[in-house]
């Protein structure tokens, strides 16, 4: 301890200068005492600690008695701050334990009254303090137009440091930060001020700001601080405060950008949703229109002479394979376009001959004037051909050559001209002979086709296609086939 009270009760503390233990020992024993008011053994003396490379100080004559460290640090801190501020502001009134008003509403540890009447209360807090208690004291000072500066103790409950040189705010320190002030820590032994900072980035530039609850702890000598009527700060703390305001403005701008971006995102999503709803509604209306058109067209065509002739071929009931539903929605009855493709692209072919889907798709688009893409038209034809395979009217083969290309499906005629119905004697009409003029053709002519002779392979005993029936072998089964 380097401060002592006077036995006479005079205000202020006596400061023991460096190396003054021998000079002031007699004064300490006769006129000085322990600054702790209720000390049971207040008699003091000086101690020369130079041989230990330590500063001279006071001690109790009864060397066995010791005060709590926080109490001594608190007294030492008040005395050091008072001495520092008196030297910094010789024209100001600096008093320890000064009442804020006549009612003694608050007793400041150190009260500084400037020449213009502005007052600053320095509160040095070593003991525990809740956020609510701090708020009561802070509001009391502000009601009296007194700026309160809080210096928290360098040890005890107000110093919650961690192993990585970081510090976590107490509830009172967090309340100081929330109010817009900066929590500071004071070490009266080293005469320095502790500061909590946090590194943040603004446009890829790293700056130090004041944290809200936890930060890196660093110190700065007390002599670099200046007490102003509105604050207690140094050049560094002023820069950190400026950086903090910049960072808050930057964060507010970024939040505004995000808010505007979110609004724009919601607007675009709403427009897309509305567009999707309009498209869905248009598709629904198109489906309703196409369904009504298909129904009307089917009824009209079946009632026409051409439709009546087709019905007569099938015992007055359209077969399932001639009325296949496909996923592509068009305003043409299924039976109409499927009968047309059957009559033009399938019935004229001989057994095992390939039917080209691309020509059928092109015929479908051109004959009925459909606004279809090539892929949609090909999908319709493929779906119908697949249904014909299930009814044994077409066969489907997959080409696996050349190697490396996707497998392709090829459709071949299974039974040309033959229509499987309940009555096996009913067949589709033969294709008119193109060598005969249209005037000589009988539109009502019917030809009952006989099934071709079945030939089995001499090697594998499976049915041989018509083009190879003469040889009696499949192409792969023929003698001397190089690919076998």
Average pLDDT (7-14) is 71
Contact 243, 208 (CB under 8 A): yes
Quick check: is 479 in a domain? Answer: yes
Q: What is the pLDDT of residue 315?
A: 80
Quick check: is 394 in a domain? Answer: yes
The answer on 471 and 413 residing in a single domain is: no
Domain boundary (17, 34, 67) is at: 67
- Per-residue pLDDT band for 453 (boundaries 50, 70, 90) equals low
Helix (H, G, I), strand (E, B) or coil at 25: helix
Please state whether beta strands 394-399 and 408-413 pair in parallel, antiparallel, or not at all (unpaired).
antiparallel
The answer on 437 and 328 residing in a single domain is: yes
Contact 381, 360 (CB under 8 A): yes
Report the 10 Å Cβ neighbour count for 319: 17
pLDDT tens by residue, 27-38: 878 888 877 766
Helix (H, G, I), strand (E, B) or coil at 371: coil
Q: How far does Cα 391 stand from its chain's mean position?
A: 54
The answer on 443 and 467 residing in a single domain is: no
Please state whether beta strands 184-187 and 192-202 pair in parallel, antiparallel, or not at all (unpaired).
antiparallel
Quick check: is 86 in a domain? Answer: no
Quick check: is 178 in a domain? Answer: no
Average pLDDT (417-436) is 39
In this predicted structure, the answer to whether residue 66 has a pLDDT above a threshold of 70 is: no
Average pLDDT (8-29) is 77
pLDDT > 90 in the chain, percent? 43
The answer on 341 and 441 residing in a single domain is: yes
The answer on 425 and 309 residing in a single domain is: yes
Q: What is the pLDDT of residue 69?
A: 58
Helix (H, G, I), strand (E, B) or coil at 243: helix
In terms of average pLDDT, the best of 21-35, 424-438, 445-459 is: 21-35
Q: How far does Cα 297 stand from its chain's mean position?
A: 54
Average pLDDT (241-259) is 94
> Comparing C-alpha atoms, which of 192, 180, 117, 179 is closest to residue 151?
192
> Comparing C-alpha atoms, which of 7, 78, 3 is closest to residue 42?
7
The answer on 467 and 432 residing in a single domain is: no
Quick check: is 144 in a domain? Answer: no
Distances (CA, A) of 138 to 175, 200, 356: 10, 29, 92
The answer on 419 and 381 residing in a single domain is: yes
Q: What is the pLDDT of residue 129?
A: 94
Instruction: Give CA angle at 182 (176, 186), nearest 5°.
Output: 100
- Return mean pLDDT, the chain: 83
The answer on 435 and 457 residing in a single domain is: no
- Minimum mean pLDDT range among 128-142, 198-212, 248-262, 427-441: 427-441
Please state whether beta strands 146-153 and 119-125 pair in parallel, antiparallel, or not at all (unpaired).
parallel
83 or 350: whose pLDDT is higher? 83
pLDDT tens by residue, 150-195: 999 998 899 998 878 899 999 999 999 999 899 999 998 889 999 9
Residue numbers of the domain that contains 325:
304-449
Domain boundary (10, 32, 67) is at: 67
- Per-residue pLDDT band for 276 (boundaries 50, 70, 90) equals very high
DSSP state of 430: P
In this predicted structure, the answer to whether residue 472 has a pLDDT above a threshold of 50 is: yes
Quick check: is 204 in a domain? Answer: no
Residue 14, H or E segment: strand 14-15
pLDDT tens by residue, 216-233: 999 999 999 999 999 999
How many domains in the chain?
A: 3
CA-CA-CA-CA torsion sign (249, 251, 254, 260): negative
Quick check: is 107 in a domain? Answer: no
């Amino acid at each position: 301890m380097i401060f002592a009270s006077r036995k006479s009760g005079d205000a202020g503390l006596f400061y023991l200068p460096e190396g003054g233990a021998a000079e002031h020992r007699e004064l300490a024993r006769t006129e000085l005492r322990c600054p702790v008011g209720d000390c049971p053994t207040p008699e003091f003396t000086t101690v020369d600690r130079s041989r230990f490379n330590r500063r001279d100080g006071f001690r109790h004559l009864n060397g066995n008695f010791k005060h709590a460290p926080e109490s001594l640090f608190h007294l030492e801190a008040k005395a050091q701050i008072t001495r520092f501020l008196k030297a910094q502001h010789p024209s100001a009134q600096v008093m320890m334990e000064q009442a804020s008003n006549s009612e003694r509403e608050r007793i400041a540890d150190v009260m500084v009254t400037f020449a213009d009447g502005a007052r600053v209360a320095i509160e040095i807090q070593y003991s525990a303090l809740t956020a609510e208690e701090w708020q009561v004291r802070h509001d009391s000072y502000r009601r009296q137009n007194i700026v309160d500066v809080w210096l928290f103790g360098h040890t005890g409950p107000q110093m919650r440091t961690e192993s990585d040189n970081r510090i976590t705010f107490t509830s009172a320190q967090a309340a100081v930060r929330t109010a817009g002030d900066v929590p500071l820590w004071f070490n009266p032994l080293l005469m320095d001020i502790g500061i909590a900072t946090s590194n943040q980035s603004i446009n890829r530039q790293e700056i130090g700001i004041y944290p809200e609850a936890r930060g890196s702890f660093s110190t700065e000598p007390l002599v670099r601080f200046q007490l102003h009527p509105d604050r207690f700060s140094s050049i560094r703390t002023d820069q950190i405060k400026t950086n903090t305001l910049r960072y808050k403005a930057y964060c507010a701008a970024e939040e505004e950008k995000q808010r505007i971006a979110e609004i724009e995102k919601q607007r675009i999503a709403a427009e897309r949703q509305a567009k999707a709803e309009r498209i869905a509604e248009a598709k629904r209306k198109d489906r309703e229109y196409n369904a009504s058109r298909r129904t009307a067209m089917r009824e009209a065509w079946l009632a026409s002479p051409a439709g009546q002739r087709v019905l007569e071929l099938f015992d007055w009931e359209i077969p399932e394979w001639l009325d296949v539903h496909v996923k592509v929605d068009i305003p043409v009855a299924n039976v109409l376009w499927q009968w047309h493709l059957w009559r033009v692209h399938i019935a004229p072919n001989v057994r095992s001959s390939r039917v080209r889907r691309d020509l059928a798709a092109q015929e479908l688009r051109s004959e009925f004037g459909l606004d279809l893409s090539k892929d949609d038209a090909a999908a319709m034809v493929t779906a119908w051909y697949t249904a014909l395979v299930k009814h044994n009217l077409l066969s489907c083969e997959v080409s696996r050559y050349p190697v490396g290309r996707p497998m392709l499906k090829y459709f071949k005629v299974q039974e040309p001209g033959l229509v499987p119905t309940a009555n096996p004697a009913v067949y589709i009409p033969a294709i008119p002979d193109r060598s005969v003029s249209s005037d000589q053709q009988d539109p009502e002519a019917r030809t009952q086709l006989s099934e071709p002779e079945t030939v089995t392979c001499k090697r594998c005993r499976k049915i041989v296609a018509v083009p190879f029936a003469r040889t009696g072998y499949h192409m792969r089964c023929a003698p001397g086939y190089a690919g076998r």
